[in-house]
Structures are given as C-alpha cells and as structure tokens.
Chains A and B, each alone.
Chain A
C-alpha cells in the first residue's frame, strides 16, 4: 500500500492499538469494558518536513485521512482515528533548528517533548514558561494544536502568546511558514488551536524568557471561594502578574493543605474495599456535594485557599503587594508552605486517572472560562447542573485581568440500573451534557486549554454560532480542500464516531 513512499511505517497490530486513542476518559471506559476502539490502518513517523509533505500529497491523491499525533495526552478525543486513517506521529521530528539567545527565541520541531525541551533551555539560562500538567507526555506540536495553557500562564501567557512563527504543511501538501505580526495580518492564530484539521505543524518559533533567578511564595485562606476569587481579581487588575495563582474551593483546599491529593490521592490505586465504598458513595453524589458546599463544612476545613508564586527580580515586592490585597479581603496568611508543596508536586495529580478507572469509577476535568462578572454564574451553574450526577470540586487557575478559568474535577460511578460499565457511561454523558449546557447558559467558553476534539465538536455551534462554525468549515476547505486532515474533529462529525453525537 505504501509503495513509492520512503517513510517509516508500521501496520503492526500492537502499534495500531497503541495509536487508536488519546486520554479522553470515555475511551478508558470503553477499554475497561473490553470494547474495541477504531484502529488506524497504519502509523507513520516522518523525519522531516519534506516527508510530511510527501505523505500529505500521497494521502490527498488517495483520499486517506491523516490524524496528527504528538504524545497522545489529549483529553477530548482529537485522536480517534477511523479504520482507513493513518496516524502521523511527529516525535521523530524533534530537532532544535535555531536558538536565538539575543531575542531570545527558539525554532524547534513540533515533535519535541516538553520536559527535555525545558531542561535543555534551562541549561542555556532560558525558559519557555510553558508548564502544562501534561508536560511529561506532550509535545510542542500538541501544545500548538490544542491551544494549550501552562500552569504559569498568568505571567507567560498561553502557547498562542508564545508563537512567533509556524512552519506547517497544509492539506494540499504545501509547506508554508506563517509569521506573527504585531500590527499586521497573521494567519498564525488560525493554525494555533486547529487541532490538526487545517495543517500539520512541523516547527514552531517560540518566544523565550530568561530563567527567573528568584521566586516568592505565598498562600492565604478565605472564608468562601467567592471572597478568594475577588482577591485574585483585585491582584490581576492592579497589574500584578503572579506566575502561579490557584484558588482552591474548600474541599480541594483541604486536600491541598494535607498534600494528600498530590501524594496518595483520594482515589484508591486498585480495586478493593476502599473503592467499593467510594463507588457506593458516588452513586448518590447530590448529598455529598451539598454537604461539601455548605458554609459549615467550609468553615470546618478552613475555607478556600489561594496559592501564588511570583517570579523574577520584583517577586518579593509583588508578593508583599498581593499580601496587602489578600489581608484586606479577610484572607488569613498560610505562609509559604502550601505554595512550595504545590510546586514540588505540580505534575503528580495527572497520574490518578487510570487507578480511578481500574477501581470502577471515572474521573474527568473540565476547564472553562468567563469574564470576572460572569464567573459566579459559571461556577454556580455548573455545580448545580453536575452535582446530581457526580462528585465535583473546583479550583480557579489561569487568572487574567478580565477573567479566569475554572477547572472542575469530577468523579462518578454508575448511578442508575443495568450493567455497571454501561451505567457509568450514561452517567458520564449526562454529566457532560449538563455541564456544557450550564457553561453556555452562564456566558462562559466551553474550553480554556484542553481544546474541542470530537467530544465537544457538537457544541461548537453554541460557542461560535452557526455562522462561526461555517467559517471554520470554510477555513477547512481553504487549507485542506480534500478534507483529509483529522476529519470529524472541531466541527460536528462527518465520519462514524462510536459515541453519542450530541451531549
């Protein structure tokens, strides 16, 4: 089949199974049931931009769908290939093309993994400032594709704020370099966030920063989550830019103070008595949520907690200014400990998903955002909508002067009759349908940094309007006239998809 292509290709069954999905939790539920997911026809590992262009032209001539693949850590089913598709794993393209230490910026190939990139930059005295929770299992191309955010986005910005140029191969097989222009036209923002549907990104030129020489740590407790976010708002609107600012609701704050969610987790590692209790408890989550949201509970566990870390030469004075704001708003000083502990365990929590699934539960996260004036409605709407279905908690990270991202974490199990795994899936679908409806009703955006994939594609008309979705279709035709790039992702599916089409 691949004659004439000088590419590294595998049609091996193990490879095809390994590349059949990303980390969308509903994929995990399917796997737990032993249900077979769609496997691609083959996996390809291009080693150069020319090989990507060659593959694109070959696929275009034959109408073969291509699914770009970074490291597979996406959580929205952007990797869900059909049986005729070829997955294009970019990790063999991981060279540094040009480091400009004066600017400073780096042109790096898109298959470069996150941690080795940051470590090598640090040895040069530089940082990208991009620290997504998935940094251990994500690539530069994946960050660009999903419009990713790092934990320090409040100072360094999201990935779209770091890209100065992109080299990519369009669906026609043309190699183009797109440039950011501060006051001129730029096509870069069309590719960033396009999730492999318009072009395959082969390299990105990224803005760098000097490695910070100092950090200042601080944390405060607040009687309620709302008072905490008001303090956070005041900080950002006064011009402070903490690299890290995370506000935890009372339950999440209790876990963060104990460090338990980072060290041991609240969810058992394997099936056993603990998981049986948890499964039973989560069948009726409404009462549990009501208890944990109550004021007496908030008071008992010490309220909400805001953790901040400032970086750079003015970090100490910035932390003092933040402290003045927090204390004036009934904040109680918690010292440096919570922020230091958070930094030490900043990536640990991402590895709790599989043990939860193995225990017969499911867990997921939803990252939504809104202007500050709508944040309360967004928070309350989602809690009210989702609370009957799953146990839910939240933290507020990725703050900005005009608004904030709310990161909801939820855990659920089967809360109706029938076979356990199927009932879990029904709970999962009900949860997401209710949650996305609630977000739209509150005037929020349905994704802050996880992207859309296939899982939220049917809701894009609520985000962009039907004319906005048509504009995305028009862009798709312009960049990828044969429609071979990741079909079904971003805008409503055009190919078979083994999950409900409308949540």
Chain B
C-alpha cells in the first residue's frame, strides 16, 4: 500500500483485501469512506461494482478510483495515471468496473481516501434505478468481446 497523503490517494494491489486496506488507513486516521466494508479483494470488489461504497450522486465531484493498472483478456496492459478527472476519450475504466472481469483484470488501483474527521459532502438526494442489462447493451458488449480479444489495431 502506497499512500499519497497530499493527494489523499492510496495505491493498492488488486489482491489486497479491502478490509485490510481500511484497517491500515484507520491506523493513520484515514478511511476509504465506505458505508460498509466488504470482505473481498480490491479486484473482486471493483469487478462487482464496489458494493458498500457511497453513492456517486451524493458528492458528484468526488470519485472512488483515480487511476489503475488493468490487463485485458489478450494480455495487453493499460496503465492510467491518477488524475482527478480527465477528458481523453472513452473512460476505459468502464471495461473494468462492475464487469466481473469480462474484459479486463485489475492489477492495482489508486483509491480515494478521506480524513476520518472530515465532513461528508452531500448534495440534494438523488438515486437512479438499477436497470437490468438490455439486449442492445449485450449486443454491443458481444462486439466488444470480439474486438478486445482480437486485439489488432485498425
């Protein structure tokens, strides 16, 4: 675990357990700021959509993961440097987050950490319905399956 206290980010390997990371952070008066701490590895936690994390709608200007390293099914490795936000094309993290390792396996991640005594920002209440995966989305996902495993540049 590598802590960047200035930026309030911690780099963890994906095989680390979320609970262990949280325990180490608490010892330094920091926290991941989760509603509940899962008993899984960081890789499994992110692949299943980070259950137990605060809703992103509560504090839209914050985020859970600032940077990461992931390996795609064809062995290619993507390293995204931590940044608070970026506008550099599609957010490839969508190929990792909540996708149950369909396209990529997380190797490490820069997670946001919070001071334990910091106030918790909260905008007006808002939630979205967790709609089921649609046929149209699955059709696109299958096209992505084929292309990511093909892995050849145009």
The interface of chain A, by Cβ under 8 A from chain B, is: 103-104, 146-149, 153-158, 160-162, 164, 170, 174-195, 198, 207, 209-210, 233, 237-241, 369-374, 398, 400-405, 443-452, 456, 460, 463-465, 467-479, 481, 483, 490-491, 494
* A465 contacts B57, C-beta separation under 8 Å: no
Our pick among B8, B119, B136 for the contact of A402 (Cβ within 8 Å) is B8
* A467 contacts B66, C-beta separation under 8 Å: no
* A182 contacts B154, C-beta separation under 8 Å: no
* B59 contacts A176, C-beta separation under 8 Å: no
Subset of 8 A-B contacts with CB under 8 Å:
A174-B136, A233-B6, A371-B9, A373-B6, A405-B85, A456-B88, A463-B86, A474-B148
* A475 contacts B147, C-beta separation under 8 Å: yes
* A478 contacts B144, C-beta separation under 8 Å: yes
* B130 contacts A182, C-beta separation under 8 Å: yes
* B119 contacts A464, C-beta separation under 8 Å: no
What CA separation (Å) do A326 and B2 show in the bound complex? 29
Residues of B within 8 A of A398 (CB): 84-85
Residues of A within 8 A of B140 (CB): 170, 176, 187, 478-479
Our pick among A158, A182, A463, A471 for the contact of B88 (Cβ within 8 Å) is A463
Interface centre among A187, A405, A473 (most CB of B within 10 A): A187
Our pick among B48, B93, B128 for the contact of A189 (Cβ within 8 Å) is B93
Interface centre among B8, B89, B143, B153 (most CB of A within 10 A): B89
Report the minimal beta-carbon distance from B32 to chain A, rounded to whole angstroms: 13
* B87 contacts A191, C-beta separation under 8 Å: no
Residues of A within 8 A of B85 (CB): 149, 153, 158, 160, 369, 398, 400, 405, 448-449
Report the minimal beta-carbon distance from B33 to chain A, rounded to whole angstroms: 10
Q: Does residue B40 face the partner (Cβ distance < 8 Å to A)?
A: no
Q: A238-B115, A401-B112 are in contact. Are A189 and B60 (CB under 8 A)?
A: no
Number of interface residues of B (CB under 8 A): 74
What CA separation (Å) do A477 and B60 show in the bound complex? 31
Q: A153-B61, A182-B49 are in contact. Are A402 and B88 (CB under 8 A)?
A: no
Interface string of B71-105 (1 = CB under 8 A from A): 01000111111111111111111110111101000
What CA separation (Å) do A240 and B66 show in the bound complex? 19
* A468 contacts B134, C-beta separation under 8 Å: no
Our pick among B80, B81, B128, B133 for the contact of A182 (Cβ within 8 Å) is B128
Q: A155-B123, A186-B94 are in contact. Are A467 and B78 (CB under 8 A)?
A: yes
Our pick among B7, B76, B143 for the contact of A373 (Cβ within 8 Å) is B7
What CA separation (Å) do A180 and B60 show in the bound complex? 14
* A468 contacts B126, C-beta separation under 8 Å: no
Residues of B within 8 A of A239 (CB): 114, 118-121
Interface centre among A170, A184, A188, A398 (most CB of B within 10 A): A184
* B62 contacts A179, C-beta separation under 8 Å: no
Residues of B within 8 A of A401 (CB): 8, 61-62, 84, 112, 114
Report the minimal beta-carbon distance from A398 to chain B, rounded to whole angstroms: 7
Q: A158-B85, A170-B140, A464-B80 are in contact. Are A189 and B90 (CB under 8 A)?
A: yes
Report the minimal beta-carbon distance from A226 to chain B, rounded to whole angstroms: 12
What CA separation (Å) do A36 and B130 show in the bound complex? 50
What CA separation (Å) do A452 and B134 show in the bound complex? 30
| Cβ-closest 9 pairs across A and B | A157-B60, A183-B49, A239-B119, A371-B7, A403-B84, A176-B136, A189-B91, A400-B84, A478-B143
What CA separation (Å) do A209 and B58 show in the bound complex? 12
Q: A154-B61, A371-B84, A478-B144 are in contact. Are A470 and B151 (CB under 8 A)?
A: yes
Q: A239-B119, A404-B84 are in contact. Are A161 and B60 (CB under 8 A)?
A: yes
Residue in B closest to A371 when the chains form the complex, CB atoms: B7
Residue in B closest to A475 when the chains form the complex, CB atoms: B90
Residues of B within 8 A of A451 (CB): 87-88
Q: A467-B78, A474-B144 are in contact. Are A183 and B89 (CB under 8 A)?
A: no
Residues of A within 8 A of B92 (CB): 464, 468, 471-472
What CA separation (Å) do A195 and B88 show in the bound complex? 9
What CA separation (Å) do A146 and B85 show in the bound complex? 13
Residues of B within 8 A of A479 (CB): 140, 143
* B49 contacts A181, C-beta separation under 8 Å: yes
Our pick among B56, B143, B151, B154 for the contact of A494 (Cβ within 8 Å) is B154
Our pick among A104, A155, A187, A473 for the contact of B154 (Cβ within 8 Å) is A473
What CA separation (Å) do A295 and B6 show in the bound complex? 25
